Amino acid sequence: MPFVIFTCPWFSDTAHRYIEAATSLLDVQLGVISETPLETMAPQLQTRIAGHWRVPSVLDSSQVAWAAQELSQRHGPIHRIFSGQEQVQVVMAQVREWLGIRGADVQTALNFRDKARMKALFQTHGLPCARHRLVASPDDAWAFAAETGFPLVVKPPAGAASQSTFRVDTPEAFGQALAAAQPSQDQPALLEEFIVGSEHSFDCYVLDGQPLFHSLTHYYPSPLEVLNHPWMQWTVVLPREIDVPEYDDIRAAAFRALHVLGMGTGMTHMEWFRRRDGSLAISEIAARPPGAQFTTLISRAHDFDAVQAWVRLLVYETFDPPTRKYAAGGAYLRGMGEGRVKAVHGLDAVYREVGHLVTDFKVPQVGQPKAESYEGEGYIIVRHPETDVVRHALERIVSLTRVELGE
């Protein structure tokens, strides 16, 4: 019976979903390494795991390796070790190399984790991406700004989900962003041109370097634009029709990018742009499942469990491509202002108009603190065989719903 280890800092809703998927596989024992006590895991899952080990930090590869060895002594050889969190991917690779566990190695993990390294590989291999530069001083940064012009995007090389990412439109704003980032040799900043166009994702299952199945989404508007405009509520559409010539170019570019980065087996999440002139630009790729309920969108569009399919692919190296039956979409409910959730308005109207399309939802709760990300305090997911019906439903949801914040 294979012994598999899952690693996470704490038992978030997403971590619970991964643990549930792994423990649902036949003839698999699951060990868990975390920073939080076992008691913080959902009670119904505690009885389904083989063992748990707590460490001070899952970002310390030596601590995770020690915990993995302790679990292995009790439950047998480690078949796989994995995590769904971006920040832990390089640690997982280091532990695999030290303990001789099959899976992505350190160099491959760095190709995905270090966005400046990733873009350098794209540039070397002629893959379309935004103009960029890793800067280690304000002088380097101002030189790039002089070459590229504004607007620009300032981000950390190892960021995730638009964290610590800023759009700057003027020299004054750029100076403020540099003062906050303080680029140096030890902590450089990644600068990119701001691409004007539409933003999308491309999510793919891969086995031994061969793409097996993919889906894509359209963002309305981009996450960075949402972060810069507090009144906006984000929506995402996963269209039913993606095996069409319109997406031939991004399919070819995505598959080639995964090959260049050295992707082996697993699930990947890529963000990309289509400029107004029709050309492509790959933003970045993560060697993990997507966040923001994207796995739910993929699951609903294909009537299968996208997370379980990912874990099954890692453990058994098997994958059964599902049939795309629906378009799916998510509306992310985001409060305006500051403070905690005071009320949610418009849900009755939403249920009357599009309730028959809703598959999943999380209603913001009174007293809930304001979310820091573009995902907001809650979400509503819909599906329908026709993409235009899904798109219209999302427009109605964000126009009817208002999350009120206050003290």
pLDDT score, position 158: 57
pLDDT score, position 164: 61
pLDDT score, position 64: 98
CA distance 45 to 242: 37
CA distances (Å), origin 299, targets 47, 304, 325, 342, 390: 26, 5, 10, 32, 15
Record: fold of 3-103: Rossmann fold (3.40.50)
Name the strand (E) or helix (H) holding 11: none
Name the strand (E) or helix (H) holding 134: strand 132-135
Spatial CA neighbour of 293 closest among 360, 204, 195 = 360
Each as own residue / partner, the long-range contacts of residues 35-41 (CB below 8 Å, 24 or more positions apart, any chain) are 35/9, 35/10, 36/9, 36/10, 36/11, 40/10, 40/11, 41/11, 41/16
Name the strand (E) or helix (H) holding 402: strand 402-406
pLDDT score, position 181: 80
Residue by residue, pLDDT tens for the chain (407 residues) are 899 999 999 999 999 999 999 999 988 999 999 999 999 999 999 999 999 999 999 999 999 999 999 999 999 999 999 999 999 999 999 999 999 999 999 999 999 999 889 999 999 999 998 888 888 888 888 988 888 888 888 877 655 444 567 788 888 888 888 888 888 888 888 888 888 889 999 999 999 999 999 999 999 987 777 766 777 789 999 999 999 999 999 999 999 999 999 999 999 999 999 998 999 999 899 999 999 999 999 999 999 999 999 999 999 999 999 999 999 999 999 998 889 999 999 999 999 999 999 999 999 999 999 988 878 899 999 999 999 999 999 999 999 999 999 87
**Domain regions of the chain by residue span:** 3-103, 131-193, 197-406
CB–CB of 152/193 below 8 Å? Answer: yes
CA distance 288 to 18: 12
CB–CB of 290/233 below 8 Å? Answer: no
Terminal CA-CA length for the chain: 53
- Specify burial of residue 211 (Cβ count, 10 A radius: 0-12, 13-18, 19+): middle
Residue 281, helix vs strand vs coil: strand
Give the chain's largest Cα–Cα span: 60
For 140-228, strand residue ranges (E) read: 152-155, 166-168, 189-193, 197-207, 210-220
pLDDT score, position 184: 87
Number of Cβ within 10 Å of residue 76's Cβ equals: 14
Between vectors from CA 267 to CA 266 and to CA 271, what angle results, nearest 5°?
145
In DSSP notation, 342-385 reads EEEESHHHHHHHHGGGEEEEEPPPTTPBPPSSTT-SEEEEEEES
pTM of the full predicted structure? 0.90
Q: What is the CATH number of domain 131-193?
A: 3.30.1490.20
Place of tokens 């002629």: 126
Between vectors from CA 406 to CA 400 and to CA 407, what angle results, nearest 5°?
160
- Strand-pair category, 166-168 with 152-155: antiparallel
Assess if CATH 3.40.50.2300 describes domain 197-406: no
CA distance 89 to 7: 10
Amino acid identity at 67: A
Amino acid identity at 56: P
CA distance 278 to 107: 33
For 9-83, strand residue ranges (E) read: 29-34, 51-54, 78-82
Amino acid identity at 78: I
Spatial CA neighbour of 174 closest among 198, 199, 192, 195 = 192
Ramachandran sector of residue 97 (left: φ over 0; alpha: ψ -120 to 50; beta: rest)? alpha
CA distances (Å), origin 244, targets 113, 241, 249, 276, 300: 31, 7, 10, 20, 21
